[in-house]
Amino acid sequence: MSGGKPGQNFRSGRKRQEAGFHKTKPKVYVTRLIPEEALNKLAENAQYRIWEGELPVPREVLLREVSGVDGVLSLLTDKIDAAVMDAAPKLRVISNMAVGFDNVDVRVATTRKIMVCNTPEVLTDTTADFAFALLLAAARRVVEGERSVRAGKWKTWGPMILLGRDVHHATLGIIGLGRIGAEVAKRGKGFDMNVICYDTVRRPGLEKKLGVEFRDLKTLLAESDFVTIHCPLLPETHHLIGEEQFKLMKKTAILVNSARGPIVDPKALYNALRSRQIAYAALDVTEPEPIPPDDPLLTLDNIVIVPHIASASVATRTKMAIMAVDNLLAGLKGEKPPHIVNPEVLAK
């Protein structure tokens, strides 16, 4: 398996043939298979090794394979910390194929003058689409209905079978009015929803443009029929939604999380769903991730959980991969990457 064998040569050339070290091209380690179009572009400008396994690259393999590389193209599943940087003394660029970069120790990278890059904006619409898909699936109990058909439980039409909640004219509460949150607001308006928002940073101009009203968090939770999370995972947002917050929500409320799993306390969520403190939840992300098969949340009927696929469209994943490669190559050439998280390293 590529990337899993000690001393494997770097790849170079459009067809990714095995080749010896190229004296002039920078060396890159890619932590997972990415769309071919992006790999071809990388191969034209660098030599690389790649981990081709379905699961994330094992820690010991990552530490071994980054030795001597100039750049790393990583995913959110890869912890790029001081130990990885120690193992890669020539490392100049960490290009994360994701909007978020909480898997990278940016502070340590900055002290070592290593550029950290991400892929913002490209997945905004795709992720907003999926967040709304989760909202609709939970509201209208789509997954429950599909399971009942497969189990042979569909006997007839009935006026009381799998009753859900209307989305139109309901109140949608958005936590985090960034790019994705703003796009979700547009979709909510398209369903004639009353849209309210909470964010630590007020954006009055954007709120007015979108036709949304600002609320503090407690008020938003109390008023919303649907609560959808689009804030980043930060120390202050860890378990932002927990036991006390669920108590504020309507018993008919539905929670959607397509941001980061640890923003929601999973034990509190389980208790809230089991006791019907809230009606339903739909998750694209969990804590931990992936969710263990024996997790108590999986015993509940009033929850939809999917495997972190909000940005998983062919077009978006290809754009993300190409953007990550562009960031990486620019940094390796000594240029400013299009999307750099720590631009202060350039001044140094």
Over residues 153-191, the pLDDT tens digits come to: 999 999 999 999 999 999 999 999 999 999 999 999 999
- Computed over every residue of the chain, the mean pLDDT equals 94
**Of the candidates 293, 277, 275, 233, which has an alpha carbon nearest to the alpha carbon of residue 257?**
233
Q: What is the pLDDT of residue 23?
A: 60
- Cα 99 to its chain centre, rounded Å, is 7
pLDDT > 60? residue 79: yes
The CATH number of the structural domain formed by 27-120+315-347 is 3.40.50.720
* 233 residue type, one letter: L
Phi-psi region of 210 (alpha: psi -120 to 50; beta: other; left: phi over 0): alpha
**Single-letter amino acid, residue 197:** C
pLDDT on residue 347: 85
Side chain identity, residue 37: E
* Residue type present at position 115: M
Q: Are strands 27-30 and 47-50 parallel, antiparallel or unpaired?
A: parallel
pLDDT of residue 110 exceeding 90, the answer is: yes
pLDDT of residue 246: 98
CA distance linking residue 192 with residue 188, whole number of Å: 7
pLDDT over 60 (residue 6) = no
Nearest-5° Cα angle at 29, 345 to 59:
95
Are the beta carbons of 38 and 322 closer than 8 angstroms?
yes
Q: What confidence category does residue 222 fall into, taking pLDDT thresholds of 50, 70 and 90?
A: very high
Location of structure tokens 């990337």:
3
Q: Is 289 a catalytic residue?
A: yes
pLDDT at 313: 97
Q: Which of 92, 230, 308, 317 is catalytic?
A: 308
Q: Across-strand partners of 197?
A: 174, 214
**Is residue 252's pLDDT more than 80?**
yes
Rounded Cα distance, 291 and 261, in Å:
10
Query: Residue 3 has what pLDDT?
Result: 44
> How confident is the model at residue 18, as a pLDDT?
38
Band of residue 100 on the pLDDT scale cut at 50, 70, 90: confident
- pLDDT for the residue 10: 65
The answer to whether residue 339 is catalytic is: no
What's the pLDDT at 5?
Answer: 43
Q: In what order do the strands lie in the sheet with 47-50?
A: 47-50, 27-30, 71-74, 93-96, 115-117
State the Cα–Cα distance between residues 297 and 303, nearest whole angstrom. 8
Per-residue pLDDT tens digits for 122-162: 999 999 999 999 999 999 999 999 999 999 999 999 999 99
Give the per-residue pLDDT at 4: 44
Question: In this predicted structure, what is the pLDDT of residue 22?
Answer: 53
Q: What is the pLDDT of residues 266-323, one digit of tens each?
A: 999 999 999 999 999 999 999 999 999 999 999 999 999 999 999 999 999 999 999 9
Annotated catalytic residue within 92, 141, 187, 260: 260
Q: Give per-residue pLDDT as tens, 24-59.
A: 899 999 999 999 999 999 999 999 999 999 999 999
CB 245, CB 224: distance < 8 Å: no
Residue type, 135: L
Check whether domain 124-305 has CATH 3.40.50.720, yes or no: yes
Compute, in degrees rounded to 10, the torsion defined by CA atoms 311, 312, 318, 322: 40
- pLDDT for 20 beyond 80: no
Confidence label for 17 from pLDDT (cuts 50, 70 and 90): very low
User: What number is the average pLDDT over the span 9-33?
Assistant: 67
- CATH 3.40.50.720 maps onto the chain at 27-120+315-347, 124-305
The set of residues, in sequence order, having a beta carbon less than 8 Å from that of 290 and lying 6+ positions away, is 307, 308
* Residue 8: per-residue pLDDT: 52
